[in-house]
Amino acid sequence: MGYLQQFIFFILVAQPFMFISLTHSSLANGKVNILPPTNTSDKVTLALYYETLCPYCADFITNDLVKVFLSDLFTIVNLKLVPWGNADILGDEPHCQHGEDECYLNTIHSCVIYHWPDVKKHFDFIRCTEQQSSKKPLVKNRAAMWKQCSEKLGMSAHRINKCYTSGYGLKLLLQYANETAKLKPPHEYVPWVVVDNQPLKDDFENFVKYVCEAYKGDNKPEACKTQVANVSSTHDKMANRIHPGCYASEIANLG
């Protein structure tokens, strides 16, 4: 019985220390530093509604939205990419602002987002294809545009193409159509950027500021501490009448 009492005493004394998880610790200079666990509920939802052949979407994705991953901002962001934009459904078929090639690439993006749900993985693919689409002259072979990116990133082109040819990609795309149609207020153009259900409208390039303001967690990333000095000049562009995006009412001009 004496041994049993000693064992129970040991368990009671040791119990508080048994719940210190090394997954929330880091070793530095021989010391164990206990870090606060990440609370995913604190993350800010940053959503981009776009279409693949809109030059303004390409510019925003390649030069602005990439900031999420070029800093520690990604630690507080739940990034959603919605490839539908100003497309419409006539009968059972989608019709896109910049023609059949855009519907094709919107579907390819939908497939990649589905098969590679890791946001950094599918964002890298989307950014790569948007860089390709903005090159002059435009790549004429629409499949070559994205296959270069899948090869570069080690993503199965066969898997992506099967998603498209099987019709499953279209089902995914129509889900994005439904999600876009539910926007309140409705989008006016693309790129259309929303932070925690609040549209940024003409100030979309300053999304970092709005993400940081919406974040209610205790540990703000360095990107939020330095963003004031890096506020973009969207309002200056508007004052100079530089077009902010692709409107549904516009006639596609593919040059």
Distance (Å, whole) CA 215 – CA 212: 5
pTM of the complete model? 0.78
CA distances from 239 to 218, 231, 242, 246 (A): 37, 16, 8, 18
User: Can you name the CATH fold of 42-223?
Assistant: Glutaredoxin (3.40.30)
Q: Give me the residue spans of the domains in the chain.
A: 42-223
**46 CB-side CA count, 13 A:** 29
Which secondary structure element, helix H or strand E, spans residue 79, and what is its range?
strand 77-83
Q: How does pLDDT run along the chain (255 residues), one tens digit per residue?
A: 555 455 444 444 444 444 433 333 333 333 333 333 345 578 999 999 999 999 999 999 999 999 999 999 999 999 999 999 999 999 889 999 999 999 999 999 999 999 999 999 999 999 999 998 877 656 668 898 899 999 999 999 999 999 999 999 999 999 999 999 999 999 999 999 999 999 999 999 999 999 999 999 988 999 998 875 455 544 454 444 455 799 977 744 443
